[in-house]
Amino acid sequence: MVVVERRVYERIRERLGRLYGEAALPRLMDRLQLIIGRYGVGADCLPEAAGCAPWDQTDAVLISYGDMVCASNEAPLATLRRFLEQHVGDAISSLHLLPLFPYSSDDGFAVIDYRQVDPALGDWPDVDALADDYRLMLDLVINHVSSQSRWFRAYTNGMAPERHYFIEVDPKADLSAVVRPRTSALLRSVQTPYGERHVWATFGQDQIDVDFSNPDVLFEYLDILLFYVHHGAQIIRLDAIAYLWKQLGTACIHLPQTHEIVKLLRDLLNLVAPRVLVMTETNVPHAENISYFGKGDEAHLVYQFSLPPLLLHAMHSGNGRYLTEWAAALAPPPPGCTYFNFTASHDGIGVRPLEGLLPQSQLDALVAAMEERGGLVSRRSNPDGSATPYELNITYFDAVGTPGDQEVSIRRFLCAQTIALSLQGIPGIYFNSLLGASNNLRGAEQSGRARTINRQKWALPELEVMLGEESSHQARQLLPEYLRRLRIRRAQPAFHPDGPQRVLELPAGLFGVRRVAPDNSQSLWMVANLTGAPVQLGFGRLVRRPRELSWTELIGGWHQSGEQLPSRFELEPYQVAWLVGH
């Protein structure tokens, strides 16, 4: 039985009125009631009840394509499940399955059919089985569809209602204010029964933007959203949400109507599936990114897009100044919200989130360093016709590593990953990072897409050899240690996403934070050495009277009573310490 919370229902009504006008409300509210009752979803607690705890320190998300691991005569989704059972287990709590639908380009993000699993991956029962094992995150690719989708084919044939689903623009219109994430043409020419038309295509000619000023489009996506929840999705990632609403004469990014729709999606989930979380994907400067928390009424989770490049800069420079300044200035997320901390994903390392945080000279040096390590650079168009770096395409292992020195590369990589695991929020780990994957240069060359460099996929026998006792691949050392740290982390109340965070004032070669459990049952200090030389630090830099406590270092496994505590401790190059004072 669906428990309808009247306050939330009225908020949805108000939002629909602001978006589409009061006159349309009776029809839209009737449609809403039909959608609420269509799927087998319902509330098992009141939407805004305090007892619905959405997360804790055991949460960690693995980001993976459905065919990241393949085996003969088995659906890749089933093979992925088998690999996770055998090699990962409970070290992660959640699985983000990147788009698993039939698609025409962009490795899944040009969706042809939102309701069908790509037969090359498996079928919905395979997805349901993974949802039985892990908290499942699915993508709602909401800004655009494939040019091969049924919707767009119907549009080109002049069929209703789809002929009103896309944004037609006069090619002579002034579009100079539009913020672009790509260098491709913004408009695509297409022939229709009504003659040539030009439609909006933010991300490329195969990805056609849909028109959310038409409420029929909104309701298509509301229906798809609940279809995913019906299949076990507990986190919904809103892909490229920042560009959703278009209005000529504006930047067409972060418009008020876009924020209103995010709030509406959250309200709908509060009505029918209050334990389902919303996460926004907005690869933009930090202040713009966190605006999607709203006042605690938009996204539950927001990517920390500034973290990957700032952490990369700190590891390369051996100087935590800019990382520290950014982390110290972070405002606590609103109640019921938290950060999604990651270092790598299926995309590149975005550099727009560095705007205002890192001097241009430092960014230029970082870009050059990535190119020296075999990385590629994707660029975006500016209003003046110039192109500037948009993202660095490189695996995070190769990005932070030392070419030719596997041992040092592993230490540097684990240092970066452990820092990310320590920050307030929920950690996200990309499958390729879990294995310390190197640049897939051959794949990038064959596909002609820079992002393929970080989208390596494996045959299961190949992975078994990589992880075998005789293997010299970095994954053999890296995976067990990564999983060990994840399991240590999940047992620490101080790493609860709601636990406060204080950034430590440390020398430039170090970075550290203090985490405290929400119930004050544990305090934990993370200190990381960003340099290639041993560094000593006094316990007095962490707490005023350290000898009044007994200390445990969780990663190294040592324990020291307060009476015997030395005044200083040493961190080896790229070592991270998790210190708990009892």
Catalytic (active-site) positions: 239
The residues, any chain, with a CB within 8 Å of residue 73's CB and separated by 6 or more, are none
Sort strands 576-581 and 551-553 into parallel, antiparallel or unpaired: antiparallel
Cα-Cα-Cα-Cα torsion 158, 163, 166, 169, nearest 10 degrees, comes to: 60
Residue pair 526/571 in contact (Cβ under 8 Å)? The answer is: no
Following DSSP, what letter does each residue of 184-223 receive, concatenated? S-SEEEEEETTEEEEEE-TT-TTEEEB-TTSHHHHHHHHH
Q: What does each C-alpha distance from 430 to 159, 286, 343, 346, 438 come to in angstroms?
A: 41, 21, 8, 7, 13
The tokens 């579009």 sit on which residue?
175
Please state at what angle helix 6-20 crosses helix 256-272, rounded to 10 degrees. 150
Tokens of residue 129, six digits: 């089985």
**C-alpha of 155 from chain center:** 32
Sheet with strand 387-393: strands edge to edge: 349-350, 387-393, 376-381
Residue of 191, 486, 128, 433 lying closest to 311 (CA atoms): 433
Residue pair 150/111 in contact (Cβ under 8 Å)? The answer is: no
Q: d(Cα 345, Cα 108) in Å, to the nearest integer?
A: 14
**C-alpha of 395 from chain center:** 16
Residue 71 phi/psi, 5-degree rounding, is: -140, 155
3-state helix, strand, coil in the chain (%, to 5): 40, 20, 40
Q: d(Cα 68, Cα 392) in Å, to the nearest integer?
A: 22
Termini Cα distance of the chain: 47
Other CB atoms closer than 10 Å to residue 90's CB: what's the count?
13
Residue of 230, 257, 217, 222 lying closest to 241 (CA atoms): 257
Q: d(Cα 453, Cα 129) in Å, to the nearest integer?
A: 30
Helix (H, G, I), strand (E, B) or coil at 20: helix
Q: What kind and span of H or E run contains 393? A: strand 387-393
